[in-house]
């Protein structure tokens, strides 16, 4: 499959080339022809599948540049996602000359008002700030031709739906609507029924199996020694682009502080941090000014940073799918990466759920060589490997259980052809 036969014109093909994409992902090859044909589309796809370009590229082709009004509106639940979509849209619009802007909460109004006054063709927005700006007449949505609702399930979860409904009331009733959601809950389907017109549906299964390029390891340790072990790993192996996950915001702050105290430049990113703090933490991490970013799941979903060599689960997530999301932040763009889990005795059940989902047993790692364990506090999991020496790799021979890679499917009309699971492809 190539981008050449999806119906994109020369300007957009040039944009694709400048973004370094060699071939379309399943959600892109499914959605792009449908969007270009003017269909309403429901895409069941999560972050990591290439969904942003799947709606940005064809939409830029559908809307005329510099018409003097906002003709495409993209509504997304978080500032981070808004910034990422803006980034993709700005890159793509260099060859189409569309004007792109993003508005989101947590920062001052004035720069956003000024951007709007300069004229915007494609506006990326979080719901609350968009309503504020519409209320003060800085945004006119009466000429929107294409509406994109991104991460609809999350907007519902986070209680944004009343705001989205108010936004819908400001839009022309005749328009093209695209809706993307990682899950298709009955609530999402009800919204699809109420808001979209005879939509085509494309499903891309989430990556239930982490890609082979990620080396996964567990390190049994007591809860009280996690911090020391983390510092040991980072210092001993000179890791310098590490994403650490904790279960709570409070723990994220604590871990970042103890790393800083040990002389490891780090930053925490979570829901309690202000927008400017988050932006600064991300940009410090991206340019290498800090070696470790400590994050919670909610905020990390959607963070797109290249070159993360290690993901370390300081705590395991309660939801097994989050484990796959987390570790998928490494081994991107054809590189390899490592995913380490610091496993406290009380997390053994979570680990078993994860192993069941990914269909393999995660072996114990060796990277903690030289770390002085407090043996009295490490409790081996008797069900796992009663005879194995602690902190040594478990015997080879992985047992495979449960399902393996997901399969996509496409329905609706047109040339929809969703296939394959989540995208983990290479950039050329």
* Contacting positions for ligand AMP (CB under 6 A): 21, 24-25, 28, 47-53, 304, 425, 427
Residue whose token pair is 């619009």:
93
Minimal distance, residue 3 CB to ligand AMP, in Å: 8
Nearer to ligand AMP, 47 or 126 (CB): 47
Of 28 and 360, nearer to ligand AMP (C-beta) is 28
**By the 8 A CB rule, do 252 and 271 touch?**
no
Contacts of 156 by beta carbon, 8 Å cutoff, 6+ apart: 185, 187, 188, 191
Nearer to ligand AMP among residue 53 and residue 155 (C-beta): 53
- CA torsion sign for 138, 141, 142, 145 is positive
Query: Least distance to ligand AMP from the beta carbon of 422, Å?
Result: 9
Closest separation in Å from C-beta 356 to ligand AMP: 26
The nearest distance, CB 128 to ligand AMP, in angstroms, is: 22
Closest to ligand AMP by CB, 132 vs 304, is 304
Structure tokens at 38: 């003017």
Q: What is the dihedral of CA 380, 385, 391, 392, to 10 degrees?
A: 170
Residue 314 Cα distances to 150, 231, 238, angstroms = 30, 11, 18
What DSSP element (H or E) covers 220?
Answer: strand 214-220
280 φ, ψ (degrees, to nearest 5): -65, -45
CB of 5 to ligand AMP, least distance (A): 14
Rounded least distance, CB 117 to ligand AMP, Å:
29
Report the DSSP pairing between strands 214-220 and 242-245.
Answer: unpaired
d(CA 267, CA 72): 35
Rounded to a whole number of angstroms, the minimum distance from the CB of residue 283 to ligand AMP is: 16
The rounded Cα 298 to chain-centroid distance in angstroms is 10
Whether the Cβ atoms of residue 59 and residue 177 lie closer than 8 Å to each other: no
Q: Are 160 and 127 in contact (CB under 8 A)?
A: yes
């Amino acid at each position: 499959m190539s981008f050449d036969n999806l119906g994109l014109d020369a300007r957009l093909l040039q944009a694709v080339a400048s973004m370094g994409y060699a071939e379309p992902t399943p959600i892109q090859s499914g959605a792009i022809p449908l969007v270009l044909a003017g269909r309403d589309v429901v895409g069941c796809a999560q972050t990591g599948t290439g969904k942003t370009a799947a709606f940005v590229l064809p939409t830029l082709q559908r809307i005329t540049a510099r018409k003097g009004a906002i003709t495409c509106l993209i509504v997304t639940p978080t500032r981070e996602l808004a910034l990422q979509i803006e980034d993709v849209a700005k890159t793509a619009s260099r060859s189409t000359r569309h004007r792109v802007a993003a508005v989101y909460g947590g920062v001052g109004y004035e720069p956003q008002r000024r951007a709007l006054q300069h004229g915007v063709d494609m506006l990326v927005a979080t719901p609350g700030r968009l309503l504020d700006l519409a209320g003060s007449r800085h945004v006119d949505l009466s000429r929107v031709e294409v509406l994109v609702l991104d991460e609809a399930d999350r907007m519902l979860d986070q209680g944004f739906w009343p705001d989205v409904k108010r936004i819908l009331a400001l839009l022309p009733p005749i328009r093209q609507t695209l809706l993307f959601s990682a899950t298709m809950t009955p609530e999402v389907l009800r919204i699809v029924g109420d808001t979209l017109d005879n939509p085509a549906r494309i499903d891309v299964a989430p990556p239930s199996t982490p890609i082979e390029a990620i080396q996964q390891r567990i390190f049994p340790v007591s809860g009280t020694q996690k911090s020391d072990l983390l510092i040991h790993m980072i210092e001993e192996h000179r890791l310098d682009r590490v994403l650490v996950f904790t279960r709570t915001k409070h723990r994220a702050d604590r871990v970042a502080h103890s790393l800083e105290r040990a002389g490891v430049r780090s930053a925490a990113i979570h829901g309690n941090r202000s927008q400017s703090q988050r932006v600064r933490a991300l940009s410090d991490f991206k340019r290498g000014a800090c070696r470790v970013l400590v994050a919670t799941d909610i905020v990390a979903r959607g963070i797109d940073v290249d070159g993360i060599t290690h993901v370390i689960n300081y705590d395991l997530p309660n939801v097994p799918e989050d484990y796959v999301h987390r570790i998928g932040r490494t081994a991107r763009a054809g590189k390899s990466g490592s995913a380490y889990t610091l496993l406290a005795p009380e997390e053994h059940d979570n680990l078993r759920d994860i192993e069941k989902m990914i269909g393999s047993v995660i072996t114990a790692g060796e990277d903690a060589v030289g770390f002085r364990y407090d043996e009295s506090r490490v409790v081996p999991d008797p069900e796992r490997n009663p005879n194995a020496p602690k902190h040594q790799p478990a015997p080879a021979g992985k047992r495979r259980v449960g399902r393996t890679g997901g399969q996509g499917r496409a329905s609706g009309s047109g040339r929809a052809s969703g296939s394959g699971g989540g995208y983990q492809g290479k950039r050329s």
